[in-house]
Structure 1
Amino acid sequence: MKITDAKVFVGGPGKPYVTLKIMTDQGIYGLGDATLKSRETVTATYLENYLIPNLIGKDPRNTEDIWQFFYRGAYNRGGPIAMAAIGGIDMALWDIKAKLADLPLYQLFGGKSREGALVYGHATGSDLEDLMDSIAYYVDEGYKAVRVQCGIPGMPTASYGVSEKKGDFKNFITDFSGIHPKVEIWDTDRYMRYMPDALARIRERFGPDLKILHDVHHRLLPREAAEFAKAVEPVNLFWLEDPTPAEDQNALKLMRQHSTVPIAIGEVFNSIWDCNKLIENELIDFIRVAVTYAGGITHVKRIVDLAGLHHVRTGFHGAPSHSPLCMAAHAHLNAWAPNFGIQEYLVLGTSECDALFPSAHRMQNGMVYVSDAPGLGVDFDEKEAARYSYKPGSHPVVRLEDGTLWNY
Structure 2
Amino acid sequence: MTEIVDYELFEVPPRWLFLRVETDTGLVGWGEPVVEGRAKTVRTAVEELMDTYLLNESPFAIEDHWQTMYRGGFYRGGPILMSAIAGIDQALWDIKGKHYDAPVYELLGGATRDKHRVYQWIGGDRPSDVGQAAAEKVDQGFTALKMNATSELEHLDDPASVQSAVDRLREVRERVGPEIDIGVDFHGRVAKPMAKRLVKALEPHEPMFVEEPVLPEHNDALPEIASHTTIPIATGERMFSRWDFKSVFEDGAVDLIQPDLSHAGGITEVKKIASMAEAYDVALAPHCPLGPVALASCMQVDMCTPNALIQEQSLDIHYNETNDVLDYLEDSDVFEYEQGYVTIPEKPGLGIELDESYIREQSENDVDWHNPVWRHDDGSVAEW
TM-score when scaled to structure 1? 0.85
**Aligned residue runs from structure 1 range 335-374, under 5 A:** 335-347=303-315, 354=326, 356-359=328-331, 360-374=334-348
Query: 2: distance between equivalents of 1:354 and 1:368?
Result: 13
Structure-2 residue corresponding to 1:399:
375
Contact kept? 1:187, 1:401, Cα under 8 Å: no
Structure-1 residue corresponding to 2:144:
145
Superposed displacement of residue 364, structure 1? 1.8
Structure-2 residue corresponding to 1:380:
354
Give the secondary-structure state (helix, strand or coil) at the position aligned to 1:8: strand
Superposed displacement of residue 16, structure 1? 3.9
Give the secondary-structure state (helix, strand or coil) at the position aligned to 1:94: helix
Structure-2 residue corresponding to 1:108:
107
Distance 1:129 1:90, change over 3 A: closer
Contact kept? 2:4, 2:58, Cα under 8 Å: no
Contact kept? 1:125, 1:134, Cα under 8 Å: no
Query: 2: distance between equivalents of 1:202 and 1:386?
Result: 41
| Alignment deviations for residues 163-200 of structure 1 (CA, whole Å, 9 cap, x no partner) | xxxxxxxxxxxxxxxxxxxxx99983232132124323
Superposed displacement of residue 32, structure 1? 0.9
**Structure 1 gaps, min length 5:** 153-158, 161-183
Query: 1: distance between equivalents of 2:309 and 2:61?
Result: 30
Distance 1:365 1:6, change over 3 A: farther
Query: 2: distance between equivalents of 1:207 and 1:34?
Result: 38
1:323 partnered with 2:322: no
| Alignment deviations for residues 199-225 of structure 1 (CA, whole Å, 9 cap, x no partner) | 234323322111011111112222321
| Alignment deviations for residues 26-46 of structure 1 (CA, whole Å, 9 cap, x no partner) | 222211111221111111122
Give the secondary-structure state (helix, strand or coil) at the position aligned to 1:191: helix
| Alignment deviations for residues 297-333 of structure 1 (CA, whole Å, 9 cap, x no partner) | 11111100001111111111121xx220110011111
Distance 1:134 1:187, change over 3 A: farther
One-letter amino acid of the counterpart of residue 262, structure 1: P
**Aligned residue runs from structure 1 range 8-407, under 5 A:** 8-12=8-12, 14-124=13-123, 130-149=129-148, 159=151, 188-189=157-158, 190-319=160-289, 322-347=290-315, 354=326, 356-359=328-331, 360-388=334-362, 389=364, 390-407=366-383
One-letter amino acid of the counterpart of residue 8, structure 1: E
Superposed displacement of residue 126, structure 1? 9.8
Alpha-carbon RMSD across the aligned residues, in angstroms, is 2.4
One-letter amino acid of the counterpart of residue 157, structure 2: T
Structure-2 residue corresponding to 1:170:
none
Contact kept? 1:51, 1:70, Cα under 8 Å: no
Distance 1:128 1:38, change over 3 A: closer
Aligned residues, how many? 375
Superposed displacement of residue 407, structure 1? 2.0
State, as a whole percentage, how many aligned pairs show the same letter. 32
One-letter amino acid of the counterpart of residue 4, structure 1: I
Give the secondary-structure state (helix, strand or coil) at the position aligned to 1:121: strand
Contact kept? 2:30, 2:293, Cα under 8 Å: yes
One-letter amino acid of the counterpart of residue 33, structure 2: A
Superposed displacement of residue 355, structure 1? 5.6
Distance 1:129 1:37, change over 3 A: closer
**Structure 2 gaps, min length 5:** none
Superposed displacement of residue 6, structure 1? 2.8
Contact kept? 2:14, 2:369, Cα under 8 Å: no
TM-score when scaled to structure 2? 0.90
One-letter amino acid of the counterpart of residue 134, structure 2: I
One-letter amino acid of the counterpart of residue 269, structure 2: H
Distance 1:188 1:64, change over 3 A: same
| Alignment deviations for residues 134-173 of structure 1 (CA, whole Å, 9 cap, x no partner) | 11100100000011347x7xxxxxx37xxxxxxxxxxxxx
Superposed displacement of residue 50, structure 1? 4.2
One-letter amino acid of the counterpart of residue 44, structure 1: R
Query: 2: distance between equivalents of 1:143 and 1:186?
Result: 35
